[in-house]
Amino acid sequence: MASERGNQVKKWIAALALIGCVMPGVSRAANIFEKVGTFDGQFLKIGVGARAAAMGGAFVAMADDASSVFWNAAGVARIDADKSELALNHATWPADLSFDQVTYVFHVKQIPGAFAVHARSLSGAPQEVTTAYQPQGTGQTFDAGYMTAGVTYGRSFTDKFSAGVTANFLHEGLADLSQQTFSFDVGTLYDVGTAGMRIGMAITNIGSEIKFIERGARIPAIFRVGTTATILSSADQKLVGSFEFSHPPDNAERLNFGAEYAFRKYLFLRGGYNVNYDSEGIAGGVGFHFPVSIAGMADLDYAYTDMKDLGAAHRFSMRFQF
């Protein structure tokens, strides 16, 4: 018994030490030269899924559903091996932009782990072509937008440790101009074993630069690390808290805090806060889990994010398990 308690104490110390290591970077953020506007592919930073967004984006350690393909590839390994998942996500973004994503997670017999195929895009309504001689428009229109498509594989190597990797194809276009490149994501999840505590780490958008109109720029590789723990657990209720630290290459370090309250596994209330973001602050949302067939279940989630001077972002997600 004493040995077991000693091991639990060591695990808590290790987790607190991890958080302590990343916190000093936040205090130095104001002194770091922020390379804002020097990286391409900014839409790669937009979070996927109403559930994660409602928790303030603190999801790298929570990752346990189809949105894990964005937050932490290791999370797909935590999806029930007897189930597949289909997730549809839509966000109304400032400037009349639409952000959409679809993910399908499945398992292959005799191959351990889980696979996922997914795609997401940022697009807007067609714009009118104008010239110096026709400032009111020529009658023609053009499109602009971003798109990615990818494949994810995640596997649990022990009952506590999972890892995953994603390969992405990136495309960006403006009128008749376009460019493509590739990127990779890696992630890990570790169950501490105390109070439902889990530690997650991920590096996303690992890739080469993308060249557009004769000029090249790198895509923003982002490092995330975080932890989650169960604060309250009973037969009817559960409250989970989550914390995350992220380091984008073109801005200051950021913190994300969030919580999810579940009532009888059917109603979910969520809240969170994005710290040190230029245009994102408080967030919140609600979710419902309900049956759609004898063996199938579905989730309907909504999230609101305060975008400060830009207004608000609204996200809607549907997830089916079958």
Rounded CA gap, 180 and 173, in Å? Answer: 9
Rounded to the nearest 10 degrees, how much is the dihedral formed by the CA atoms of 46, 187, 118, 150? 100
What residues have CB less than 8 Å from 100, skipping those under 6 apart?
A: 89, 90, 91, 120, 121, 123
The three-state secondary structure class of 112 is coil
pTM: 0.86
Rounded CA gap, 35 and 28, in Å? Answer: 15
Greater pLDDT, 32 or 277: 277
How far lies 151's CA from each of 104, 127, 185, 241, 281, in Å? 10, 32, 10, 29, 31
Residue 9: its pLDDT value, please?
42
Mean predicted confidence (pLDDT) in 179-208 = 94
Q: Taking all residues of the chain, what is their mean pLDDT, rounded to a whole number?
A: 89
Mean predicted confidence (pLDDT) in 254-281 = 96
pLDDT band at 27 (very low <50, low <70, confident <90, very high): very low
Of the chain, the percentage scoring pLDDT greater than 90 comes to 70
Instruction: Write the pLDDT tens digit of every residue in 214-248.
Output: 788 889 999 999 999 999 999 999 999 999 999 99
pLDDT band at 12 (very low <50, low <70, confident <90, very high): very low
Q: Among 75-79, 127-131, 285-289, which stretch is predicted with the lowest mean pLDDT?
A: 127-131
Residue 209: its pLDDT value, please?
83
Instruction: Write the pLDDT tens digit of every residue in 274-289.
Output: 999 988 999 999 999 9
Domains of the chain (ranges, CATH numbers): 2-125+140-321 (2.40.160.60)
Which helix (H) or strand (E) segment is 22 a member of? helix 2-27
Kindly report the backbone phi and psi dihedral angles of residue 15, in degrees, each rounded to the nearest multiple of 5, phi listed first: -65, -45
Residue 24: its pLDDT value, please?
46
The three-state secondary structure class of 321 is strand
- Token pair for 40: 């391409």
Kindly report the backbone phi and psi dihedral angles of residue 298, in degrees, each rounded to the nearest multiple of 5, phi listed first: -140, 155
Q: Among 84-98, 123-137, 269-283, 286-300, which stretch is predicted with the lowest mean pLDDT?
A: 123-137
pLDDT over 80 at 320, yes or no: yes
Rounded CA gap, 235 and 237, in Å? Answer: 6
